[in-house]
Structure 1
């Protein structure tokens, strides 16, 4: 019995997804497979998605199998909100995985990263020794289906990656050709983000790695490197901060930005600040800022830095009312503390916001792709059903074979060698004719989900145990 436990942007809130994503995905297949009623487990944990595919003992129905899966999830996940996982059984689970692998269930329909993530999930389970023949076959068919859809539809062109979508949204707010960017993280998403930033004309890019791997990334990609001791200053200086780390804690928060701004207070050279014409305020020249309307002076109480230092009634010569700093959080769990939204002049764009702006699906390509997924799922289910009755068909054939051999032995004792050969030819032909209809009928019943009827029938008629 195949069971999928799924939580994604379509059926779970961001908090639940974040909690699930903090579980150790490398250890989870083993934890799930430790359940006495689970024969195999594969865990797919990605941005916006957490799924577990389980091979549960076949002598239970879908309701019992779902209960077993939930019990295994509670034991394996503990406090990581296993209750957010929704169960899918048998053909629904297969169709869902095929659809996921093809990118049809992603925030951005057709994105290509998920196919590799599905393949890596199977490889991880294989290394852990938690797969089963049924799960191996399921994931192999998922990859085959994904490749077929990619080659036969335009779905990959209809969709775009999370990174591209996030930066497309950001492009409506800033001109990357005249923007200072701080990239936080050095993983695969960081590489993709850097390529997309450059494609949009960004040239002033620095990288900071909270795990201290930024220097090598910076050298290999020919960008600036920010030492951890300078992180606050760099964060406050950036017009755009893009975070994409696997850290399980916040790497950017209000305290970091505030500390960095304090270091820039003497010159007011931070995003959100602009010089009022003729003010003579000593702001660093040549500092790039996003385009904004002509600023106006604010009162002393408007200034987030100098409210306590200006003379009573004096005006700060800096415009502080413009949202000039954009923080893009592409981490799951979150890389950015939501409290940054309360920092003056900061706008936060996170995955939850990004998914709300995902473009409409390309209907023709998507419909064609979903049709291919349904057909692939039906083929997989037929194959699974035939696999379930296969041992029973083999047992029936062996039963007839044994009866035929006994009859041939009897003929051999009474007749000549020529008579024995003629009898064997006739009996083997008759056995084939006799077994043809039960074999076809077994597969028909299996395709209808009634393989138990066939197993019960041959048990009742021939005394063949339910071995499938």
Structure 2
């Protein structure tokens, strides 16, 4: 089994296409189960955000899995394969691990180092766990990616070098409105991105914040955290007429803010939703500026000013990712050979017990003390003969071609590393081997 990633992101596809491919809610759950039901897929998780749609899977056949996952993305998004295929990327085995660690560290985000991706990956992990589509391989890999992402943000300035999408949006807003302190802000939605938006507005000095959401109670709770007020969704047009700055990010599938809701005057609308919350026709209104994810791709780099700090942070994070990938792959390769080592020792133990049984049958009058001494001697001889090759094969297994050494052992000794006895014995054998290594 190997890890495979099939997806598309802001780096490979226009936002308009990402908007069509993006899946959430029940559609995302259906995609997870559809992928897992494919014969060559054992585990699956999907990350679907405004910047990317990626399917992570543990598979046993590369080409068949790529084809199946690509087709299922097409079916569940409604985007024909001929429109989708040119924008898809595929990462496999080592490259899949590196890609996920880079994503979690913010290196692959539209805005460098943004911290939202960690929460998005964590949500994807939780959903896959709840739906039962995750197994030990992907679970451990994603957990490690989250740890790598946290380490990257803690040890470097990557999150400071690249502002969040909201931070970039506010920088663009100030180019239109001037200083945003003293402006009236309207936040449409009450999810995680809306909460980040409201908090960012408050930190920027905006004191007049209104929150509108389909579920009024959630709007009230979010508004209270930033000292603002909540309004009913039915009052959205009235609130728009009084707002200078609007940030919208809902989970709606249709447009939330239409052109006839907006009064032609100086105002700035930031649409962070996928699909769009704001009707693009709003751009034609005099004085109104609309920035969405597509236009932010051009403005994000300009909005970041600390070029030297950004470059230094990127180098540091890439170093962390490279080290963590190497460590993960080394441990994973070593773990693959462990069942083979256990099976070898288990088979040797069976041979020893069988021969001792024959000895007792042939020489029943053998003194008990002598019998114990003979037993210990035979076991010591077998352990010493097996010690060096089993330690060595574990070391060799950490190399990229390490699986070949385990395969050679299985062929030479006719081993089945999946036998129940070998699996049950794994911890005992590893413990005994470790004690012998320490004693040498």
State the 1:102 CA deviation: 1.9
1:35 aligns to what SS in structure 2?
Answer: coil
1:419 aligns with 2:422: no
- Other-structure match for 2:188: 184
1:461 aligns with 2:400: no
CA distance in 1, matches of 2:80, 2:212: 29
Q: 2:278 aligns with which of 316, 320, 336?
A: 336
Q: 2:111 aligns with which of 108, 111, 121?
A: 108
CA gap 1:428/1:369 in 2 versus in 1, 3 angstroms: farther
CA distance in 2, matches of 1:78, 1:396: 51
CA distance in 1, matches of 2:69, 2:338: 26
**Kept after mapping to 2: 8 A contact 1:214/1:226:** no
**Kept after mapping to 1: 8 A contact 2:267/2:287:** yes
**Kept after mapping to 1: 8 A contact 2:186/2:245:** yes
1:252 aligns with 2:221: no
**Kept after mapping to 1: 8 A contact 2:4/2:56:** yes
- Other-structure match for 2:434: none
- Other-structure match for 2:67: 67
TM-score (norm 1): 0.77
The CA RMSD over aligned residues, in Å, is 2.7
CA gap 1:422/1:74 in 2 versus in 1, 3 angstroms: farther
1:197 aligns with 2:201: yes
Matches within 5 A, 1:217-366: 217=221, 220=224, 221-257=226-262, 261=263, 271=265, 324-356=266-298, 357-358=300-301, 359=304, 360=307, 362-366=310-314
CA gap 1:405/1:334 in 2 versus in 1, 3 angstroms: same
- Other-structure match for 1:161: 164
**Kept after mapping to 1: 8 A contact 2:9/2:51:** yes
CA distance in 1, matches of 2:78, 2:234: 37
TM-score (norm 2): 0.82
CA distance in 1, matches of 2:219, 2:117: 29
Which has the larger share of helix?
2
Q: Deviations over 1:298-353 (max 9, x none)?
A: xxxxxxxxxxxxxxxxxxxxxxxxxx221111112221122211122222111222
2:377 aligns to what SS in structure 1?
Answer: helix
- Other-structure match for 1:448: 399
Q: Deviations over 1:362-398 (max 9, x none)?
A: 2222212211111211222222222322222222221
1:41 aligns with 2:77: no
1:391 aligns to what SS in structure 2?
Answer: helix
**Kept after mapping to 2: 8 A contact 1:208/1:214:** no
2:55 aligns to what SS in structure 1?
Answer: strand
CA gap 1:445/1:197 in 2 versus in 1, 3 angstroms: same
State the 1:88 CA deviation: 0.6
Choose 152-161 or 391-400, whichever is displaced more. 152-161
State the 1:442 CA deviation: 3.2
5+ long unaligned stretches in structure 1: 262-269, 272-323
Give the number of aligned pairs.
Answer: 402
